[in-house]
Structure 1
Amino acid sequence: MFKIKTYNAISIKGLNRFPRENYEVASDIGSPDAYILRSHKLHGEALPESVKAVARAGAGTNNVPVEEYTKKGVVVFNSPGANANAVKELVLAGMLLGSRGIVSGMQYVNGLTHMTDAEEMSKLLEKEKSNFAGMEIQGKTLGIVGLGAIGSLIADAALALGMNVVGFDPALSVEAAWRLPNQVGRMENLQSLLARSDFITLHVPAIPQTKHLINADTLKVCKKGAVLLNFAREAIVDAHAVVDSLNAGHLGKYICDFPEPILLNRPDVLAMPHIGASTEEAEENCAIMAADQLVDYLENGNIKNSVNFPAVSMDRNAGIGARITFSNQNVSGVLGHVLSVLADHKANVVDMVNKSRGDVAYNIIDVETAPSAELIAALAKVEHVIAVRVI
């Protein structure tokens, strides 16, 4: 029986992916095998030794101490792409709101409560409507920083709306490149993208390398009057630098999902209450993906969509005695040492796979007969081995 501890309100459709005959799922549970969570911050919390994996029902994992968990052999999963459509739709709404005086115009209309004559109101609005004029997005250039699941969807939609689209992503994967429409112009650097874009939308993770990616220096490169959209992470943009650029009349508007006190009550800022992935469909999709990944890892040792371990998968073969998985520091000689220990204990290896990612490696080994406790203890003592499991 596997035990899953939940944090936050996880969609019931996701929780139902855990078969009740094999899983106990609760928010208050002792010795959990895994966590599933959304925004709950795990930094500073004690981690039970029983925890083997953490699944974040969402894309970002800045609420999880990933480096600390990696050293303990705990696999951290996220749910990339599960909320991509929800974010894409809000970005499109943000672009449209930012291109015209829609919000300010509606606020003006709702302030006319003193008027009682419809004809008089109509005449007034006809006179005042030029104050809320804007521009069409057709024919304008959209610059997308980060061309992953969300960025590629936005590129598709923007092209369909008649926009020119350019993109920049130094870490573009082969899979993401295949998803990307061929009409997207690839920029060699961030500065080139900023200089030619009427709208700029950010879709990169919040990591040390992207902290304040948009700052006083990069904002100077932006096209005068450009609209900046941030529906990725708060830390990517220096809000004080944005305000300075707005005050100087260089940046046209800032539209974001991460309000800060300095951004409030400005006509050139549209700040939303972190609702990018807050749709019923997105929450369900993220929960389902996170749960499925935990089930596959706990039952088969397979890893997909981990932020700290390599992607590893191996089919289960009928008649195999057991599956052994182990993680280790990515140094030479560890796998050879493990195989020699297996040979010393007469454990016949039927199939295996070994993958590495940065400083860690992960291995799945199918053996003909179930290993003894003595063998597992010997494997755990191999130098540089972090964690060993028998499935």
Structure 2
Amino acid sequence: MFKVRTLNQISPLGLARFDAKRFQVGADIEDADAIMLRSFKMHDMPLPARLKAVGRAGAGVNNIPVAALSQRGVPVFNAPGANANAVKELVVAGLLIAARNLRGAWEFAATLKGSDAEISRAVEAGKKAYAGFELPGRVLGVVGLGAIGRLVAHAGLSLGMRVIGFDPELTVEGAWQLSAEVQKAASVAALLREADFVSFHVPLVDATRHMINAETVGLLKPTATVLNFAREGVVDDNALVAALDAGRLHAYLCDFPTNRVKNHPKVVALPHLGASTQEAEDNCAIMVAEELRDFLENGNIRNAVNFPEVVVAREGVCRLVVANANVPNMVGQISTSMARAGLNIHNLVNKSRGDLAYTLVDLDSALPDAVYDEIATIPGVMSARRIST
């Protein structure tokens, strides 16, 4: 029986994907085969010795020690696209809040006092201060054209906006799903110069940290609005507040309140609501539960952030899965060990991703302990596991 530990409250619809006959699931499990979580910060927690996989019921994995897990041969799964619609809808709300100055208008209306007639007169006298503008014809810049970015781009087109996008890592599949009406920017700088609104949809890595900073904020129009519903750290709060205070930026909307921005009159900071819909939580939990189950039961990898995708139908009597360093002759050493033992390989797949590789072998007979031990101790092998039918 596989043991799955939950570090956050996970949607019951996702947990229901684990067959109770084969999986024990709970928050109090110690020596777990897999961990499933949402926002729990794993960096300082001890990792179970038998840990085989980690699943994040969401997209970002900054709260997970991916590098340390990779060195142990542990794939980290996530749920790309499962919360995309929820985030897109929040971005659309942000566009409208900024364009119509709704924060200031709401606060103005809430402070009105007197009789209804007096309030009505105050409204007519004061509403001019909150006049906004409409979205058709405005330029929406989208940085990052993954599942969320593409939906945001298409929503902008639906609102009559001109949309430009930038993503140096846009996949062929992603490009197929992107409307031809989305114009491609040559660089982030080129996008910032044109945009009336710029929305970020990128992971937080070295290349994306402080994409809006003291230098790049100067590329934006003084009437522009920045939206960050991606990750805290993509925007340098100090540089952005300085631009707002100097009148060189219209507004900032984000999902990451900090002391620097949360009370600023030109900022709307929300409490990390991007994926906080029941539908998104259900979708993420279901996707990750199915990924973990398929990996534990069949050794298949899909939507891992650190290992290549390897999905192969089960054939043969025994399956061996090996996480290994991406070095020469690894497959040769594995197959040689099997050949010396007279084992017939029914199917073998090896794929790599950067410094890591994953080898999956289906055999027509059981894998003896001695051969398994020999393979598990090959230099560069980080983890190995036998799966029987």
TM-score (norm 2): 0.98
Could you tell me which of 298, 304, 307 is aligned with 2:305?
A: 307
Q: Please name the residue that 2:324 is paired with.
A: 328
Q: Please name the residue that 1:8 is paired with.
A: 8
Please give the alpha-carbon distance, in whole angstroms, between the structure 1 residues aligned to 2:382 and 2:166. Answer: 37
Q: Please name the residue that 2:347 is paired with.
A: 351
Query: Once the 2 structures are TM-superposed, how far is the Cα of residue 266 of structure 1 from its aligned partner?
Result: 1.7
Query: Once the 2 structures are TM-superposed, how far is the Cα of residue 2 of structure 1 from its aligned partner?
Result: 0.6
Query: Once the 2 structures are TM-superposed, how far is the Cα of residue 82 of structure 1 from its aligned partner?
Result: 0.4
Could you tell me which of 350, 359, 363 is aligned with 2:359?
A: 363
* Long gaps (5+) in structure 2: none
Q: Which runs of 4+ in 1 moved over 6 A?
A: none
Q: Please name the residue that 1:102 is paired with.
A: 102
Could you tell me which of 155, 158, 163 is aligned with 2:156?
A: 158
Query: Once the 2 structures are TM-superposed, how far is the Cα of residue 264 of structure 1 from its aligned partner?
Result: 2.6
Please give the alpha-carbon distance, in whole angstroms, between the structure 1 residues aligned to 2:147 and 2:62. Answer: 19
Q: What CA deviation, in whole Å up to 9, does each residue of 1:161-195 have, x standing for no partner?
A: 10000000111111111111100000010010000
Percentage identity across aligned positions? 47
Please give the alpha-carbon distance, in whole angstroms, between the structure 1 residues aligned to 2:354 and 2:327. Answer: 10
Please give the alpha-carbon distance, in whole angstroms, between the structure 1 residues aligned to 2:82 and 2:97. Answer: 25
Query: Once the 2 structures are TM-superposed, how far is the Cα of residue 366 of structure 1 from its aligned partner?
Result: 0.2
Please give the alpha-carbon distance, in whole angstroms, between the structure 2 residues aligned to 1:340 and 1:286. Answer: 41
Query: Once the 2 structures are TM-superposed, how far is the Cα of residue 124 of structure 1 from its aligned partner?
Result: 2.2
Query: Once the 2 structures are TM-superposed, how far is the Cα of residue 23 of structure 1 from its aligned partner?
Result: 0.4
Q: Please name the residue that 1:34 is paired with.
A: 34
Please give the alpha-carbon distance, in whole angstroms, between the structure 1 residues aligned to 2:386 and 2:264. Answer: 58
Q: Please name the residue that 2:260 is paired with.
A: 262
Please give the alpha-carbon distance, in whole angstroms, between the structure 1 residues aligned to 2:35 and 2:148. Answer: 26
Q: Please name the residue that 2:65 is paired with.
A: 65
Q: What CA deviation, in whole Å up to 9, does each residue of 1:365-387 have, x standing for no partner?
A: 00001111111101011121111
Query: Once the 2 structures are TM-superposed, how far is the Cα of residue 93 of structure 1 from its aligned partner?
Result: 0.1
Letter in 1 for 2:324: N
Please give the alpha-carbon distance, in whole angstroms, between the structure 1 residues aligned to 2:13 and 2:34. Answer: 18
1:51-200 alignment, distance < 5 Å: 51-112=51-112, 114-116=113-115, 118-200=116-198
Please give the alpha-carbon distance, in whole angstroms, between the structure 1 residues aligned to 2:278 and 2:366. Answer: 44
Letter in 1 for 2:358: Y
TM-score (norm 1): 0.98
Please give the alpha-carbon distance, in whole angstroms, between the structure 2 residues aligned to 1:157 and 1:47. Answer: 42
* Long gaps (5+) in structure 1: none
Please give the alpha-carbon distance, in whole angstroms, between the structure 1 residues aligned to 2:159 and 2:21. Answer: 49
Letter in 2 for 1:34: A
Q: What CA deviation, in whole Å up to 9, does each residue of 1:337-380 have, x standing for no partner?
A: 11000001111100111100000100110000111111110101
Equivalences, count: 387
Could you tell me which of 212, 215, 219 is aligned with 1:221?
A: 219
Query: Once the 2 structures are TM-superposed, how far is the Cα of residue 127 of structure 1 from its aligned partner?
Result: 1.8
Query: Once the 2 structures are TM-superposed, how far is the Cα of residue 123 of structure 1 from its aligned partner?
Result: 2.4
